[in-house]
């Protein structure tokens, strides 16, 4: 039965994103490069005056369109990486002290994950641990990154932001010990990644990801302050609790029940909405419930088999597939390698 206790979540049309999250920096960079504002702001419903309004908030759709327009410019691969260098810690606003005073690499990585809605609002960052490695993966927070070039642009600037801020607060190139998994990209994009990142890079991978040796997570930072970090982290968690996207809520419920996937009507009941409303909201995000289920199961299968080296038999048992043949048919349908 539905109640009035509707939980809060964010959708692609909600205006909550500060222009300091990367939008203002990108506009400045392209205008300085001679890009005409009318071209840059095309279809965004934004005007140059909006970037001088400290209270201005934009929607994920507007930000995605702005980034898409940027991908049409010459040298957009390098542009994304340069943009990442300018985002942190500015985009964190009053939460920047928490990151600057993180006690060690592990704390900083978790802080970046928890604050991603502030500095990379179109992406969600996720952490997994296995075999003495921390794996950092990315999902499309609002279902706006179907275009592969746009997706690469957003993830490239996010990776560059992580590299830049970690190198700054640690005063060391810790990133050189990381491994970056990069999805299918053209030769120019590959050249830019190799030129910008000291990490080992594996191209033509199924998903973008970062692998960090767990031995590095305890690496101390020079500006560490346990008190300042703890205070800001508590404030950050409290604020970001209300900045969860609808798609991520659904993804979390699927992952939490990966062996027995809940039906769409069960998810709707948990969200205190009707199944018809859930379907309508997902359609607005250009997806549906079965597509999200397939996405999450495909990602889990990939992680189990490519990172944990589980066999088809072990994977089928772990994810409660009816039999191995069923798993293999699903992998072909999802195009999981």
Summarize the confidence of residues 25-46 as an average pLDDT: 92
What integer pLDDT is reported at residue 7 of this predicted model? Answer: 53
Q: The tokens 């659904």 sit on which residue?
A: 250
User: What confidence score (pLDDT) does residue 249 get?
Assistant: 94
pLDDT tens string 164-186? 999 999 877 889 999 999 998 88
Average pLDDT, the chain: 91
What was the pLDDT predicted at 2? 41
- Name the residue ranges covered by the structural domains of the chain: 76-240, 246-334
Q: pTM for the whole thing? A: 0.92
* pLDDT score recorded for residue 222: 87
Question: Bridge-partner residues for 20, per DSSP?
Answer: none
Give CA–CA dist 109/158, Å, rounded: 13
User: Which architecture, in CATH terms, is 246-334?
Assistant: Orthogonal Bundle (1.10)
The strands making up 200-202's β-sheet, listed across from edge to edge, are: 123-130, 133-140, 209-213, 179-181, 200-202
Those residues with Cβ within 8 angstroms of residue 276's Cβ, 6 or more apart along the chain or in another chain:
none
Q: What is the pLDDT of residue 337?
A: 67
- Inter-residue contact 209 to 138 (CB < 8 Å): yes
Long-range contacts of 88-94 (CB under 8 A, 24+ apart): 88/119, 88/161, 88/164, 88/165, 89/165, 90/20, 90/25, 91/18, 91/20, 91/21, 91/22, 91/118, 91/119, 92/118, 92/119, 93/18, 93/20, 93/118
Higher pLDDT, 1 or 213: 213
Quote the distance between the C-alpha of residue 146 and its chain's center: 14
Q: Could you tell me what percent of the chain has a pLDDT over 70?
A: 97
Report which of residues 95 and 173 the model is more confident about: 95
The pLDDT, as a whole number, for residue 185 is 86
pLDDT in tens, 117-147: 999 999 999 999 988 999 999 999 999 999 9
Q: Which range (160-164, 219-223, 274-278) has the least confidence?
A: 219-223
Residue 3 reports pLDDT greater than 70: no
């Amino acid at each position: 039965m539905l109640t009035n206790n509707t939980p809060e979540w964010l959708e692609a049309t909600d205006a909550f994103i500060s222009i300091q999250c990367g939008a203002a920096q990108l506009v400045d960079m392209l205008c300085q490069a001679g890009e005409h504002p009318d071209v840059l702001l095309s279809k965004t419903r934004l005007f140059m005056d909006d970037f001088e309004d400290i209270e201005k908030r934009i929607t994920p759709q507007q930000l995605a369109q702005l980034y898409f327009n940027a991908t049409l410019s010459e040298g957009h691969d390098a542009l994304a990486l340069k943009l990442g260098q300018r985002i942190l810690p500015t985009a964190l606003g009053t939460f920047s002290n928490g990151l600057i005073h993180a006690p060690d690499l592990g704390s900083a990585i978790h802080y970046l994950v928890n604050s991603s809605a502030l500095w990379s609002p179109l992406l969600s960052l996720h952490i997994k641990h296995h075999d003495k490695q921390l794996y950092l993966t990315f999902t499309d927070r609002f279902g706006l990154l179907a275009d592969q070039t746009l997706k690469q642009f957003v993830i490239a600037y996010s990776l560059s932001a992580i590299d830049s801020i970690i190198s700054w607060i640690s005063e060391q190139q810790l990133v050189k010990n990381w491994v970056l998994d990069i999805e299918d990209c053209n030769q120019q994009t590959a050249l830019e990644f190799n030129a910008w990142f000291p990490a080992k890079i594996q191209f033509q991978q199924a998903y973008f990801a970062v692998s960090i040796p767990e031995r590095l997570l305890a690496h101390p930072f020079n500006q560490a302050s346990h008190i300042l970090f703890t205070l800001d982290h508590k404030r950050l968690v409290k604020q970001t609790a209300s900045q969860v996207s609808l798609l991520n809520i659904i993804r979390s419920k699927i992952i939490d029940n990966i062996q027995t996937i809940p039906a769409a009507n069960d998810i709707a009941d948990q969200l205190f909405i009707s199944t018809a409303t859930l379907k309508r909201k997902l359609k607005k995000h250009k997806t549906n419930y079965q597509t999200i289920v397939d996405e999450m199961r495909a990602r889990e299968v990939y992680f189990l088999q490519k990172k944990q080296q589980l066999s088809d038999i072990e994977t089928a048992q772990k994810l409660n597939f009816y039999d191995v043949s069923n798993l293999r048919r699903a992998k072909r349908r999802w195009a999981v390698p």
